[in-house]
Structure 1
Amino acid sequence: MFVHEHNTRIRYAETDQMGYVYYGNYAAFYEIGRTEMLRHTGITYKELEEMGVMLPVMELYSRYIKPATYDTLITIRTTIREKPGIRIKFEYEIFDEAGALLNTGNTQLVFVDRKKNKPCKPPQIFMDKMNPYFST
């Protein structure tokens, strides 16, 4: 299992008229979590794309527990529980500064060969980065 945390502050533009984070912005927070988690492994989305692999989102689920508000420092905890294959599932928990759980969610992405536009196995370099976190 691989777990990574990243902090970001809620910007005014991410809130709605009620002063709460607009619900659609949680998908963007999930993307921040995924991107920073991958960067932490030593490989980036950009590098995967340069290798000819895309990672489109197939599924997205989000559960809103408590609203986040402007200028709150949130923690995005991103978890991969299962060793990636053709698909990779990310789970998210978003907490406020006091540690209160605000949101949970998950996304499932698929590795796609850019030239063939077909699902493919992850690049070996990516798997080499992931293998230490999963028992074989």
Structure 2
Amino acid sequence: MFDYSTKVRVRYAETDQMGYVYYGNYASYYEVGRVECLRSLGLSYKALEDQGIMMPVLECHTKYLAPGKYDELLTVKTVIKEMPSVRITFNYEIYNEAEKLINQGETTLVFVNMETGRPCRVPESMEKLLSPFFDK
């Protein structure tokens, strides 16, 4: 298992009239979480694209537990529980400044060869970086 936490400040544009994070913005926070999670390993989306691999989202699930609020500094904890193959699943927990769990989510992305448009296996570069966290 590999996990990484990053911070996101709630901007005014991300809130509704009540000052709560608009529900659709949590997917953006998940994206920040997974991009920074991979970056912490030394791998960027840009590097994957340069290798001819894209990672479209196949599924996104969200559970809203409490509202995020304008100007809060949220913590996005991103967890990879299983070694990826053709797909990679990220689990998320979002905490407010009081360290209260306010949101849980999960996204599944698929590795796609940009040249063929077909699914492919996890890139070797990512597999090498993640394998120490999943060795038996």
For the aligned pair, the TM-score class normalised by the smaller chain equals over 0.9
Partners of 2:86 and 2:105 in 1: CA distance: 20
Q: Does 1:102 align with 2:102?
A: yes
Deviation at 1:8, TM superposition (A): 1.4
Is 1:112 aligned with 2:112? yes
Corresponding residue number in structure 1 for 2:121: 121
Provide, for residues 27-75 of structure 1, a one-character-per-residue CA deviation record: whole Å limited to 9, x for no partner: 0000000000000000100100010000000000000000000010100
Q: Measure, in 1, the Cα distance between the counterparts of 2:86 and 2:6.
A: 26
| Separation of aligned partners in 2, 1:9 and 1:118 | 36
Report how far residue 85 of structure 1 moved. 0.5
| Cα RMSD for the two superposed structures | 0.6
Whole-angstrom CA distance in 1 between matches of 2:101 and 2:120: 35
- After the TM superposition, which residues 13-52 of structure 1 pair with which residues of structure 2 at under 5 Å, given as runs? 13-52=13-52
Alignment size in residue pairs: 136
Distance 1:96 1:82 in 2: 26
Distance 2:91 2:122 in 1: 19
* Deviation of 1:99 (Å): 0.6
Moved over 4 A (4+): none
Please, which runs of 5 or more residues in structure 1 have no aligned partner? none
State, as a whole percentage, how many aligned pairs show the same letter: 50
Aligned to 1:4: 4
Supply the distance in 1 between the matched residues of 2:44 and 2:14 (Cα, whole angstroms).
25
Which letter does structure 2 place at the counterpart of 1:20? Answer: Y
Instruction: Give matches, 1:55-70, under 5 Å.
Output: 55-70=55-70
Secondary structure of 2:104 counterpart: strand
